[in-house]
Structure 1
Amino acid sequence: MILGGVLPDRPIVSALVIVVATGFIWFGSGWLEESAEQLSAYYGLPAVVQGSIVVAVGSSFPELAAVVFTAIDGTFNMGIGAIVGSAIFNILVIPALSGIVTDGELDTNRTIVYKEAQFYMIAVSALVVTLALAVIYVPDPDGPELSGTLTRPLALLPLLLYGLYLFIQWQDVSDHDAEGITDGIDIGREWGKLAVGLVVILVAVEQLVGSVESLSHTVGIPAFLAGVTIIAAATSLPDTLVSVRSAQTGKGITSIGNVLGSNTFDLLVAIPIGVLIAESATVDFAAAVPMLGVLTLATVLLFSFLRTDLSITDLESYVLLLAYGLFVAWMIAESAGLTELIKGT
């Protein structure tokens, strides 16, 4: 329901609300980015932890909100679609844009390649296993053939893995000797700015999800594909803004760390949190797994580029953009019924 039913439920109105909500997400993400950067400097966090935890969790708040709202509304497939679509966007588009805006090559290091990227691959595998367990042990008799119910006990599995991720990051913080920068930073003001940014994003995403759901019903776009395309692109704005700005200032490690950390948070925390709030959620395995397969291929492509000379060149950036363009073309073909590779949508 758009703005609580104040506005008429028409496609043009839904499209307008989507644009306005996306703008507010962008606005809220700007406050979030500034406060997260100041807080990281104040507490003396290393660049990798700043990107993969502090900034990543904050910029992933739109995806978390999208999953929660779709789980409550009974359209959890749209929420999973938003998470997977956002992850594909983050993996292919954000490093590409960061590499293009950087003067020269976008530099990384072995920590990014051998810790962040590889742990993210484990996160993708863990989500696939969790969905498979839902289909095997809690099948949905009223749903499609390969559908299952994600219950709270199953949702705890990815959360436990994210706990391991936090432990690893905590070890890095313990080994880091840099002192915090306290001069000129009003810590109370920065925490307040962070909170306001999150509230703005929360409200905007709630309206975004409602508008996309209304538009998908009117136009006939399957919920999962609507999540993969429209919601995914809109909720990825904070990640894009944060990573590109970090790359422009020469912080390539923070930029890539935000991408991988944000995706890890989305897969291991955002989806389980939605399940915990809604008590349970039905998921279509046949629709989700092909998209997770695409995400895996995209991750392998990025990992290969990151490992080559520990940098991303302009040519590699354009290859990543081309790969995302092919993905979007495939989604358009699926929506138009030209291809039927995704079952159950």
Structure 2
Amino acid sequence: MVLGGVLPDTTLVNVLVVLVTTGFIWIGSGLLEDSAEQLSAYYGLPAVVQGSIVVAIGSSFPELASVVFTALGETFDMGVGAIVGSAIFNILVIPALAGIAADGELETNRAIVYKEAQFYMIAVSALVVTLALAVIYVPAANGPELAGTLTRPLAMIPLLLYGLYLFIQWQDVGDHDAPDAPSSISAGREWGRLAISLLIILVAVEQLVGSVESLSTTFGIPEFLAGVTIVAAATSLPDTLVSVRAARDGRGLTSLGNVLGSNTFDLLVAIPIGVLIVGTATFDFAVAVPMLGVLTLATVLLFSFLRTDLELTSVESYVLLIAYALFVSWVVAETVGLTNLIKGA
């Protein structure tokens, strides 16, 4: 239902709503970035922690909202698709655009490569294990052969792992010798701006998800694949904006920390939060795992590039973009029936 029934539920209107809400997500992300940077400076957070926690959680709010709304609307496959698709977009496209936008090579360090990237790989594995446990111990009564049901106890597994991630980051903050907070920053005002930005993003994502659901029904696009492409790209706008601006300003650590921290939050928090809210959520393991396999390959590719000389070159950035183009081409081929590698789609 578009805008609560105010507008007609037609293809043209839904396309326009997708475009307009994407613009509002972009506006909200700009406010979010500014307030998050000011709060990080006020509290004296290291660049890596700023990118992987403060900015990452804020810019991941669209993905969290999409999971909650799809779970409430009983289209959880679209929500999971949005998370996985957004993660693939974040891993391949955002570092590539940041590397191209940077003045010279996009520099990284060992903390990004050996802490953030490797912990993110653990996050991917933890999600796969959680989904597998759901299929083994809580199979869906009615549905595909490999359909499982995520329950609240199972959702706690990735959430507990994210708690470990926060503990590690907290230790880094304790070891960081931060400069004095600028006197011009008002913490109360910045927290208010942050809340307004999240509200804008929340409303925009709610309308975006509803329009994408209508479009996927109209054109016969499976919910998971619609989430992987349309919803994923739109909800990744805040991450894109934050990382590209940070790279352009010479803050490569914040840029890459945002990408990896955002993906870690999406996998370990966004999906479990949706399950905790609605109680249970059914998914098709045969659809989810191939996409998670692609995400694993994309992560290995980015990890390899970041480790070589601890920088991301322009050539490597374009390779990442080509890899994402190949992924989108495969998704389109699956949708129109040219390939049939995703058995549950």
Indicate whether the TM-score tops 0.5: yes
* Mapped partners of 2:180, 2:23: distance in 1: 33
Q: How does 1:243-282 map to 2 (within 5 A)?
A: 243-282=243-282
Give 1:237's aligned amino acid.
L
Query: Is 2:162 the counterpart of 1:148?
Result: no
* Mapped partners of 1:5, 1:280: distance in 2: 28
Query: Is 2:336 the counterpart of 1:328?
Result: no
Give 1:265's aligned amino acid.
F
From the superposition, tell whether residues 268 and 126 of structure 1 become closer, same or farther in structure 2 (CA, over 3 Å).
same
Match of 2:211 in 1: 211
* Mapped partners of 2:342, 2:26: distance in 1: 31
* Mapped partners of 2:243, 2:99: distance in 1: 10
Match of 1:15 in 2: 15
Give 1:251's aligned amino acid.
R
Q: How does 1:287-306 map to 2 (within 5 A)?
A: 287-306=287-306
C-alpha deviation, 1:182, in angstroms? 2.7
C-alpha deviation, 1:129, in angstroms? 0.2
* Mapped partners of 2:56, 2:319: distance in 1: 24
Match of 2:124 in 1: 124
3-state SS of the aligned residue for 1:12?
Answer: helix
Please list the CA deviations of residues 227-276 of structure 1 after superposition, one character each: whole Å capped at 9, or x if unmatched.
Answer: 00000000000000000000000000000000000000000000000000
Match of 1:344 in 2: 344
* Mapped partners of 1:10, 1:220: distance in 2: 15
- Percent identity over the alignment is 79
Please list the CA deviations of residues 266-302 of structure 1 after superposition, one character each: whole Å capped at 9, or x if unmatched.
Answer: 0000000000001000010000000000000000000
C-alpha deviation, 1:184, in angstroms? 1.1
Q: TM-score, normalised by structure 1?
A: 0.99
Match of 2:56 in 1: 56
Give 1:263's aligned amino acid.
N
3-state SS of the aligned residue for 1:140?
Answer: coil
Match of 1:80 in 2: 80
* Mapped partners of 1:101, 1:76: distance in 2: 35
Give 2:234's aligned amino acid.
A
Query: Is 2:28 the counterpart of 1:43?
Result: no
Aligned-CA RMSD value: 0.6
Q: TM-score, normalised by structure 2?
A: 0.99
* Mapped partners of 1:171, 1:102: distance in 2: 30
Query: How many equivalent pairs are there?
Result: 345
Match of 1:314 in 2: 314
C-alpha deviation, 1:181, in angstroms? 1.9
* Mapped partners of 2:39, 2:331: distance in 1: 39
* Mapped partners of 1:334, 1:20: distance in 2: 28
* Mapped partners of 2:179, 2:72: distance in 1: 43
Moved over 3 A (4+): none
Match of 2:168 in 1: 168
* Mapped partners of 1:91, 1:73: distance in 2: 28
Give 2:260's aligned amino acid.
L
C-alpha deviation, 1:179, in angstroms? 2.7
Q: How does 1:105-124 map to 2 (within 5 A)?
A: 105-124=105-124
* Mapped partners of 1:285, 1:57: distance in 2: 27
* Mapped partners of 1:290, 1:194: distance in 2: 36
Give 1:60's aligned amino acid.
S
